[in-house]
Amino acid sequence: MRRYLSTILIALAVLGGTLVQTGCVVVAPRSGRVWVPGYWAPGHVWVGGHWRYR
C-alpha cells in the first residue's frame, strides 16, 4: 500500500506542477524599435511598413 501511495503522491505533484505552469506567459524583452507592417489606413490609404520606437 505504501508503494501505491508514494506513486500517487508523485503523480499528483507532477500534475499540480503542470497545472500551475499553464497560466505562464513568456514575453519577449522590450527593444528600442519595433517593426510595424504595412496596413490600410482609413480612407483606403496604404501605409507602408516602418520602424516605430517603443
- The string of pLDDT tens digits covering residues 5-50 is 888 999 888 887 777 777 777 777 677 888 889 999 999 999 999 8
Q: Residue 33 in contact with residue 53, Cβ under 8 Å?
A: yes
Looking up cell 505562464, which residue turns up? 24
**Cβ(53)–Cβ(36) below 8 Å:** no
Q: Which are the contacts of 33, defined by CB distance < 8 A and separation ≥ 6? A: 51, 52, 53, 54
Question: What is the pLDDT, as a whole number, of residue 45?
Answer: 93
Please report, for the chain, the start and end positions of each structural domain, with discontinuous segments joined by +.
2-53
Cα(48)–Cα(50) distance, rounded to whole angstroms? 6
Amino acid letter, 35:
W
